[in-house]
Structure 1
Amino acid sequence: MTVPKTSVLVLNCSEPEPLARFYAQLLGATAGPATDDGELFLVTGRTGVVLGIRRDPQRPTPSWPLPEDSQQVHLRILVAADALDEAEREAVALGARPVAAEEDGTRLDNRTTLRRYSDPAGHSFVLAAVREDPARLSRT
């Protein structure tokens, strides 16, 4: 029998608690410490743990989209197409910083379907419009 387990993307930053609160508010989730020492915070939503935020005081702030740095990883937050403008207002009000659209190698970033940001600690994420209700997608 397989031991029950799950996986989660973990972002490193110098101050994990405020960043966990940022993502919890942005995603309509909750955030709390996963360890007694406060080194790891988990953001938990309707579908379970959606993101981890880990303390790493030596972690430099990401500098993407500078040409010498690669994006490496980003969060793609799915949003109903008709709610994209509202989701953008929420993200910016919580402290997200818009990142200029750039050629991604396949097509020009289209603001009607994809919007790029940096979170308060500098990690990149996008709000991406989808045809189906994102809540319905998370149940499948």
Structure 2
Amino acid sequence: MALAKLDIVVLDCPDPHALAGFYAGVLGGTVEEDPEDSAWVDLKVPGGTALAFQRAPGFVPPEWPAADRSQQFHLDLVVEDLDAAEKGVLELGAKPLDTADRERTFRVYADPAGHPFCLCAC
């Protein structure tokens, strides 16, 4: 028996609205903002777990790979076409982190706030 149920994945960042917009461009979904709380933005993803973005003053992005600035977590995003998905995330502002092996089944990027994520072939 589970003790808890996953509700939402929260990413700390300097600009919650901007990062929610990036992931809405990647995953689709609806950005929902609370007009009374500009430090928190939700992204409701169709058929998936919602993401939330929380303003973190003094946010220092992780570095990949770096032991002294650990990534702490990353998102694996499954895609049908790695090349097409790569083109799309780069247009949205992602930065490639690892371009050495183009033949493997995943590619590593950083979102505009510096969080690592992977595009993975399904």
The two structures have a TM-score, normalised by structure 2, of 0.84
Q: What are structure 1's unaligned runs of at least 5 residues? A: 103-108, 131-140
Q: What are structure 2's unaligned runs of at least 5 residues? A: none
The structure where strand makes up a greater share of residues is 2
Rg (Cα) greater in structure: 1
Superposition map of 1:13-52 within 5 A:
13-34=13-34, 36-47=36-47, 49-52=49-52
What percent of counterpart residues are identical? 40
CA contact (8 A) 2:62 2:70 kept: no
Which position in structure 2 is the counterpart of 1:117? 109
TM-superposed deviation, 1:71: 2.4
Which position in structure 1 is the counterpart of 2:91? 93
Question: Partners in 2 of 1:91 and 1:38 — Cα distance?
Answer: 25
3-state secondary structure, aligned to 1:62: coil
State the number of aligned residues: 118
TM-superposed deviation, 1:35: 6.5
| RMSD of aligned alpha carbons | 2.1
CA contact (8 A) 1:42 1:49 kept: no
Question: Partners in 2 of 1:84 and 1:34 — Cα distance?
Answer: 34
Question: Partners in 2 of 1:37 and 1:25 — Cα distance?
Answer: 22
3-state secondary structure, aligned to 1:9: strand
One-letter code aligned to 1:127: L
The two structures have a TM-score, normalised by structure 1, of 0.74
**Runs of 4+ with deviation above 6 angstroms:** none
CA contact (8 A) 1:74 1:126 kept: yes
One-letter code aligned to 1:96: A
1:62–1:86 distance in 2 versus 1, CA, 3 Å: same
Moved more, 116-125 or 30-39: 30-39
